[in-house]
Amino acid sequence: MKKLFCCLAPLAWLHSAAAVDAVRTANTVVLDETGVKNLRIETLDVEEADFEETAFALGRIALLPGNSTVVSSRLSGRIHSLLARPHTEVQKGDELLWIESRQPGDPPPVIKIEAPMTGLISEVNVVTGQPVTPDSHLLEIIDLDNVEASAAVPEHLAGLLKPGQTATVRVAAAGDKTFEATLMHLGSGVDPASSTLEAAFHIANPDHLLRPGMRAEFSITLSKREGVMSIPRSALQGDAAGRFVYVKDFELKNAFVKTPVETGQINDHAVEILGGLLPGDSVVTKGGYSLAFAGGGSVSLKAALDAAHGHEHNEDGTELTAAQKKAHETTTAGGNHEHEEGGSGDLIWKIVSGVLAALLVLTSLRRPKNANPEAA
């Protein structure tokens, strides 16, 4: 019995390996160069890196407190000339406007108003000739080099936040560009209507892409783990019942294998992989959704394997066994033999037909000319 088990064990292993290869073959999509280009396939190697647990929140961009100033006049008069234009950059000391004083004089004295700070003129509230007083709000200048991003964080996450934590901020106006922000303080109370707590982040904004009032998306880092194998979220397909990715075949050119994976935590840009992939596997990060509908692809698996290995395979991609090779050779040889026999038979039939025709002619020529027609 022990010897029988030892003999059967390798057979069971071979059967299991064949089953795995059959499943892999059925889930392989092979494309040509044009197909890869049309589907815009992009891949990325799997590697271990830091993985962040994050929380998502929405909010708005706002001015930093103290980063704005109102320009006014120290005396009464009227606007003599106005140089300031709304939504333009100014430097500290630039001329903004001239005010004609109400003090007596011929002509009346004119006072120059300069920019008290460098920034952007956000609004201009006067026109030339308009009377002004010391309490008149002439214009406003704001500094956008640094801005505040206020996130509305669900109250159940409030206990996980503390000053110094970081977040990645996105705004629609900046496209794919992201901004790194630092948490400065939390709100003093929860909004009862939305059950959220304000979390104020500060962001460096040297290009002035962020403007007050813009809607912002926050990915707040709650914790970080090192040495975690992860892939981009764009590579993951399927649903809760079965997650999978497409992995570039290490041997076949332009071949991609549908591979089930076991996932862990998911943040706004990455997915933790617990099983199904190995470091160095190249996963499809763009175009994978189209691969799911590509069927077998634009190139047959047999043709791809034949080209890669230098010998023939079956249509399903499996190795051609010795018995299959012999049967294939026998069928080919038999077909050629029948073709040759058919050619010889046709030649013999033509010769026999020719001989019979010649004998018939000779018989007609040798018949006597005075023979009785009735006897004949």
| pLDDT tens digit sequence for 55-77 | 999 999 999 989 999 999 988 99
Q: How many residues does the chain have?
A: 376
CATH topology of domain 71-140: OB fold (Dihydrolipoamide Acetyltransferase, E2P) (2.40.50)
Buried b (16+ CB within 10 A) or exposed e, 200-221: bbebebeeebbbbebebbbbbe
Whole-number pLDDT of residue 306 = 54
* CATH code for the structural domain at 19-53+228-306: 2.40.420.20
Task: Report the distance separating Cα 47 and Cα 230, nearest Å.
Answer: 7
Q: Closest Cα partner for 171 from 142, 207, 196?
A: 207
Residue 242 scores a pLDDT above 50: yes
Cβ pair 46, 276 in contact under 8 A: no
Domains 19-53+228-306 and 55-64+145-226 alike in fold:
no
Grouping H, G, I as helix, E, B as strand and the rest as coil, residue 213 is: coil
How high is the pLDDT of residue 322?
Answer: 66
Give the per-residue pLDDT at 285: 93
Band (pLDDT 50/70/90 cuts) for residue 16 is very low
Query: How do 146-154 and 95-101 pair as beta strands?
Result: unpaired
Angle at the Cα of 341 from the Cα atoms of 340 and 346, rounded to 5 degrees: 100
Give residue 9's pLDDT: 45
Assigned fold of 55-64+145-226: Elongation Factor Tu (Ef-tu); domain 3 (2.40.30)
Report whether 109 contacts 154 (CB < 8 A).
no
| pLDDT value for 288 | 87
For residue 367, pLDDT beyond 70: no
pLDDT value of residue 20: 45
Per 3-state DSSP, the chain is made up of helix, strand and coil in percentages (nearest 5) of 25, 40, 35
When pLDDT is cut at 50, 70 and 90, the band that residue 19 belongs to is: very low
- Determine the average pLDDT of the residues in 319-329: 65
Mean pLDDT, range 133-149, rounded to an integer = 95
Distance CA 249, CA 222 (A): 36
> What is the token pair recorded at 32?
């040509």
pLDDT at 333: 57
* Dist. CA 260–CA 7, nearest whole Å: 33
pLDDT band for position 204 (cuts 50, 70, 90): very high
Provide the residue ranges of all domains of the chain, joining segments of one domain with +: 19-53+228-306, 55-64+145-226, 71-140, 321-366
Residue 75 · residue 111 · CB < 8 Å: yes
Q: What integer pLDDT is reported at residue 34 of this predicted model?
A: 87
Which residues lie below 8 Å from residue 278, measured CB to CB, with a gap of 6+?
46
Asked if residue 336 has pLDDT above 60, the reply is no
Q: What is the pLDDT of residues 151-163, one digit of tens each?
A: 999 999 888 999 9
Q: Are 269 and 255 in contact (CB under 8 A)?
A: no
Q: What value does the mean pLDDT take over residues 145-151? A: 96
Q: Could you tell me if 96 and 84 are in contact, meaning their C-beta atoms sit under 8 angstroms apart?
A: yes
| ω into 104 cis (within 30 of 0) | no
pLDDT at 241: 85
**Stretch 315-336: mean pLDDT:** 60
Least confident residue range of 27-41, 110-124, 274-288, 350-364: 350-364
d(CA 211, CA 171) in angstroms, rounded, equals 10
What is the distance of C-alpha 302 from the center of its chain? 30
The span from the CA of 122 to the CA of 84, in Å, is 10
